[in-house]
Structure 1
Amino acid sequence: MVSDWSTGTVSGGEKITPTGRILRLDVPSWPGNLPGQHLDLRLTADDGYQAVRSYSIASYGPGTTVELAVDELPDGEVSPYLVEDVQPGDQLEVRGPIGNYFVWREQQTEPVQLIAGGSGIVPLVSIVRAHQASSSAAPFRMIYSVRAPEDAYYAAELDSYSGDRFSLEWVYTRTTPAGWARPAGRIDRAVIEASALPASDDPTVYVCGPTGFVEAVARILVDLGHDPGRVKTERFGGA
C-alpha cells in the first residue's frame, strides 16, 4: 500500500559502517510493511527545491517505528544529510510502503537464497528477521559481499542467526579478516556454485546491491539453471 506523504520523527540512529548509518523513524500514520519493501523519502530545501530518494526498510510488520540503513555517497544529494546531519527529533517526509515484488511472506515454503552487495543487505535483513521470528522451516542461505569487514551492515546480528534454518557466507572484495581462507575477490560463478542453493532445490532467490553487481549475479544464477522467474532483483544507484 502506497500512502500519501507522512511526517516521521527521527527517534534514534547510529553509525554502522564508516559511511553507513542506521536511522529509526517514528511515523504515527505508518500502516506497517512486508519484509523486503521500501519507502520514498523527501527532503525540501529552504528555496523549495525537493529531492526524493527510495530507501529499503530493515524493519517489518506492524507498528510505527521504521528502520532504515543509509550509505553515504560523496556526490549524493540526500544520503550525506541523512548520515552526517540528521539528529533525533528532526522530521522527515516519507511515503510508503512500496513494492510487492521483492517481498517474502511466511506462507512461502520453498528454500530461499539471499545474495547482497554492500548496503543492498538492508531489505534482506528485514526478510531474515521475519523468517527468524516465524515458524517457517524453509531453509535460508545468504551470501553477503562487502569490501572489508568494517563495511558490513548488521554483521553481528546476521552471524547470530546461523543455525539449522539459516547459513551465511561472507565474501570480501578488498580486505579479508586475518586468517581468512578465501582470498579477496568478487562473487563469481565458483562462489555461487560452492555456497548458494542449487537450482535443483528450486529456491526463490533475492539479489540486492549496485546495478552491476545485481546484473552479474543474476546472469550467473540463470546460467547455472535457476528459473529466471524465481530470481528477484532490486538494484540501486547514487542517492
Structure 2
Amino acid sequence: MHPRLLAAGPHVGTGAWRTATVVEVVHPSPRAVILRLRVPDRIDHLPGQHYAVRLTAEDGYVAQRSYSVASAPADPLLELWVERLVDGEVSGFLAEVVEPGDELVIRGPIGGWFVWDGMTPAVAVGGGSGAVPLLAMLRHAQAVGATDRLRLAVAARTLDDLPFPDEFAAAGAVVALSRTDYEGRPAGHLTAAEVAPLLRPDATGFVCGSTPFAEFATQLLVDGGLPAAALRVERFGPSG
C-alpha cells in the first residue's frame, strides 16, 4: 500500500525540507512519470544535481528517494523524471497517485561533484534513467548558448527505458538502444566508434547510470583517450 501524502508543514529556510506544488504530471511511458513542480524560494540548481522527495504515511511511516533534476536552472519550474520501479513505494505513488495541485515535501538541490555549469567542454554518457541529469545539461547549454561545449551519448534497452529520447536525438546526441533498432541504428550496445567523435582532450567526462553501465561507459571514455582524472561518475541502483 502506498503512503498517503499528507499536507506539509510551514515553509522552512533555505536548504531545508520545503513544500512544492505539483503543476503538471506527464506519463511519457508506462515506466515513467514527469513531474513539474513550483518550489517557493527555490535555489537555482546546477545541471547534474538532484532533489530528495519525502512521503509520510498517516501512521508516521516515512519513505524518501532521490531524483535527478531534468530542467535547466532557467526554467521557472523544477522538473523531475521518475522511473516507475516494480514495488517501488515512492516511485509508484508519484506515478499512480500524484496529480496537479498536490503538494510534495522535497529538499535540494543536492550534490556538488557531478555538475556542469556550461563554461567548459564536456562529454557526457548516460544509461537509462542516468540520462536525466544529462538532459538538464543539454537544456542549460541551449539556454546559455553553449551547445558547442557539450557532446552527449545516451543508451537504454528500449525507447521506453530512455528519458526524453526525442529531445536527445533532436540535439544530435548518440542514441543507442540495445534491444531495438532506432532511427536506422541497429540494436546493440553503445560502441567505441560511436563515442570516439565526441571526445576532446580538454573535456570533462560525465558518466551516469547503473554500476555495470557506469563501468562500461567509463572504460569507453578512458580507452578513447579521456584521462581518468577528468571523469566524474555517478552510479545508482534501486532503493530498498
Change (3 A) 1:156 1:223: closer
Distance in 2 (CA, whole Å) between partners of 1:201 and 1:145 is 23
The Cα shift of 1:137 comes to: 6.2
The amino acid across from 1:152 in the alignment is L
Change (3 A) 1:229 1:4: same
Alignment of 1:134-153 (within 5 A): 134-136=144-146, 138-153=148-163
The Cα shift of 1:63 comes to: 6.1
The Cα shift of 1:64 comes to: 5.2
The reply on whether 1:49 has 2:61 as its aligned counterpart is yes
SS of the equivalent of 1:212 reads: helix
The Cα offsets for residues 188-233 of structure 1, whole Å up to 9 and x where unpaired, read as xxx1243334665332111111122112211332244321121111
SS of the equivalent of 1:201 reads: coil
Distance in 1 (CA, whole Å) between partners of 2:174 and 2:66 is 27
Alignment of 1:104-183 (within 5 A): 104-108=116-120, 110=121, 112-136=122-146, 138-161=148-171, 167-177=172-182, 180-182=184-186
Structure 2: unaligned runs, 5 residues or longer: 1-13
The amino acid across from 1:144 in the alignment is V
SS of the equivalent of 1:81 reads: helix
> Which 4+ runs in 1 deviate beyond 4 A?
197-200
SS of the equivalent of 2:29 reads: coil
Deviation larger for 99-108 or 44-53? 99-108
The Cα offsets for residues 34-78 of structure 1, whole Å up to 9 and x where unpaired, read as 111111111111111111111100113256521000001103221
The amino acid across from 1:49 in the alignment is Y
The reply on whether 1:201 has 2:201 as its aligned counterpart is yes
Distance in 2 (CA, whole Å) between partners of 1:227 and 1:75 is 40
The amino acid across from 1:115 in the alignment is V
Deviation larger for 229-238 or 219-228? 219-228
The question of whether the paired residues in 1 share the 8 Å contact of 2:36 and 2:77 is answered with yes
The amino acid across from 1:160 in the alignment is A
The amino acid across from 1:235 in the alignment is R
The question of whether the paired residues in 2 share the 8 Å contact of 1:43 and 1:51 is answered with yes
Distance in 2 (CA, whole Å) between partners of 1:17 and 1:130 is 24
The aligned residue for residue 238 of structure 1 is: 238
After superposition, the CA RMSD in angstroms is 2.1
The question of whether the paired residues in 2 share the 8 Å contact of 1:145 and 1:186 is answered with yes
Distance in 1 (CA, whole Å) between partners of 2:54 and 2:170 is 34
The amino acid across from 2:56 in the alignment is T
The aligned residue for residue 91 of structure 2 is: 79
Distance in 1 (CA, whole Å) between partners of 2:118 and 2:194 is 27
The Cα shift of 1:150 comes to: 3.5
The reply on whether 1:102 has 2:114 as its aligned counterpart is yes
Distance in 1 (CA, whole Å) between partners of 2:168 and 2:220 is 25
The question of whether the paired residues in 1 share the 8 Å contact of 2:152 and 2:198 is answered with no
Distance in 1 (CA, whole Å) between partners of 2:98 and 2:147 is 40
The question of whether the paired residues in 2 share the 8 Å contact of 1:149 and 1:176 is answered with no
The aligned residue for residue 185 of structure 1 is: 188
Distance in 2 (CA, whole Å) between partners of 1:227 and 1:181 is 29
TM-score by length of 1: 0.86
Distance in 2 (CA, whole Å) between partners of 1:122 and 1:70 is 9
TM-score by length of 2: 0.86
Structure 1: unaligned runs, 5 residues or longer: 162-166
The question of whether the paired residues in 2 share the 8 Å contact of 1:143 and 1:196 is answered with no
The aligned residue for residue 164 of structure 1 is: none
